Amino acid sequence: MNKLVKTAILAAALLLPLSAAAQEMDWKSVTRYNKAEAKKQLTERFTKYVTFDTQSSDQTAKVPSTAGQTKLAKALAKELKKNGVKNVKVDSNGIVTGEIPANSNRNTPAVAFLAHMDTALEASGKDVKPQVHTNYQGGDIVINAERKLILNPGNSPQLARARGHDIITASGGTLLGADDKTGVAIIMTMVQFLNDHPEMQHGTIKIAFTPDEETGAGVEKFDVASFGADYAYTLDGGDLGELTNETFNAKSFTVEFEGLRAVHPGDAMNSAFSDNLLMASDFHTLLPRHRRPETTADRRGFILVDSITTIGDKSEIKGIIRAFSEEEMQELTGEVTRAFNTVKSMNYKGKGFNLTFEDQYKNMKSVLPEQMISLAQLAMKNEDITPVLTAARGGTDGSSLSFMGLPTPDLFAGQYNIHSEREYADVDVMEASLRTVLRLISLWNIQGNSGNVQ
């Protein structure tokens, strides 16, 4: 077969699915998507959800750690059912799950959308009083005059790009809960949209709202197998276009030095005296200063000692290593080993030397199928949003889920200054996130099976 014939056959084969696809691709005209209505729903939902006190607690092993999370879980389950979601469940850990059955006969993978219900420990989540500041025109937004709590582009640079947007803040004395109730509101509004617009074609959509993300305890209880999704996205990100597809590789290390301090210090010279406390402090000093948390940023990893404990003749040092690439992890592991070996060689009278490493979590990039990221990028581009690939300098629920078998990158949700009294939500960015999700659902249905991303 010559090349020309081959091309012609290929074009003919592609023609039918492409024209059908083109119609479905234009989901906004098919559904008569109304931006103002979407913003109204997002605002109503978000301002309602933040009135639930769902602050998580690290003082208990129970999941959910606080009763307020169960309250919100039940309210969300009720709302999902009202909007046509099937198999809605709240399990004993307060995890809410549900399913929107496919209405398309393509063999589309099951795609899930997740958000967490709890709020951070750094500020109170009780009696949150949201304020909606419509049509921001620049300058100061007063959260609380008495407490001199003000938002402006000086303390919140992204506000410089928020002219004309609706901004939601708390009223002082509490956080807002934008992290992650923006995500919850976006997912719930997507659910209502699909229910109101059966003309929009989609595969199976799975929904989950999870507890205790802030302590990391909730995700451990997530039953990936029974959830039954092929791919998932968390809606727990910040500014327009953010797509987090990377997290740190994380290792911990433990160093033990054993000496002999049970000698009268006055007679230590020429004795078996061996100072494990000095070995521990030498080790700490020998670690590179330019590879510490406060001397690294962006894509550069670090080493941090968390504790040094000395009891009698034994000193124990515990620390962590964080790095995006395997090469850098090797390099930093080498630095720790080198410091340890140096101390060992300097203290021939020492009784015991031990160094162990333990893997904690891995950069999720290594297990995320490329199609998940390229479809999310394409969804944004089709909505005139510039995708910004982001690497999280920490672990996420998504990175844990990814290694539990459910690949889960994170999408922007319009939350800013999180974990603080200055936290705010940008309703227009939330609306852009909603459109991205709907477009993504449409793209998965059209391209998700073929593996060919344009």
- Do residues 302 and 293 make contact, with C-beta atoms less than 8 angstroms apart? yes
CB of 77 to Zn ion, least distance (A): 20
Cα distance between residue 422 and residue 323, in whole Å: 30
Q: What is the DSSP string of 168-208?
A: EE--SSS---HHHHHHHHHHHHHHHHHHH-TTS----EEEE
CB of 404 to Zn ion, least distance (A): 18
Burial label for 10, CB within 10 Å (0-12, 13-18, 19+), is exposed
- Closest by CA position to 119, among listed 187, 59, 57: 57
213 catalytic residue (yes or no) = yes
CB of 398 to Zn ion, least distance (A): 10
CB of 236 to Zn ion, least distance (A): 4
Of the residues 99, 213, 230, 410, only one is catalytic, namely: 213
Pick between residue 180 and residue 230 the one whose CB is nearest to Zn ion. Answer: 180
The interaxial angle of helices 35-49 and 178-196, nearest 10 deg, is 130
The residues, any chain, with a CB within 8 Å of residue 353's CB and separated by 6 or more, are 256, 257, 258, 340, 343, 344
Pick between residue 66 and residue 204 the one whose CB is nearest to Zn ion. Answer: 66
- Do residues 339 and 347 make contact, with C-beta atoms less than 8 angstroms apart? no
Pick between residue 179 and residue 242 the one whose CB is nearest to Zn ion. Answer: 179
Pick between residue 95 and residue 280 the one whose CB is nearest to Zn ion. Answer: 95
Pick between residue 201 and residue 417 the one whose CB is nearest to Zn ion. Answer: 417
Cα distance between residue 76 and residue 92, in whole Å: 15
CB of 37 to Zn ion, least distance (A): 27
Cα distance between residue 439 and residue 161, in whole Å: 23
Pick between residue 179 and residue 212 the one whose CB is nearest to Zn ion. Answer: 179
- Do residues 383 and 33 make contact, with C-beta atoms less than 8 angstroms apart? no
CB of 420 to Zn ion, least distance (A): 13
Chain centroid to Cα 72, Å, comes to: 20
β-bridge pairing 167-169 and 424-426: antiparallel
Pick between residue 207 and residue 336 the one whose CB is nearest to Zn ion. Answer: 207
- The site for Zn ion (CB under 5 A) is made up of 179-180, 236
Of the residues 24, 79, 99, 118, only one is catalytic, namely: 118
Q: Could you give the C-alpha distances from 434 to 134, 172, 234, 402, in angstroms and in order? A: 19, 28, 13, 23
CB of 433 to Zn ion, least distance (A): 14
What are the residue numbers of the active site? 118, 213
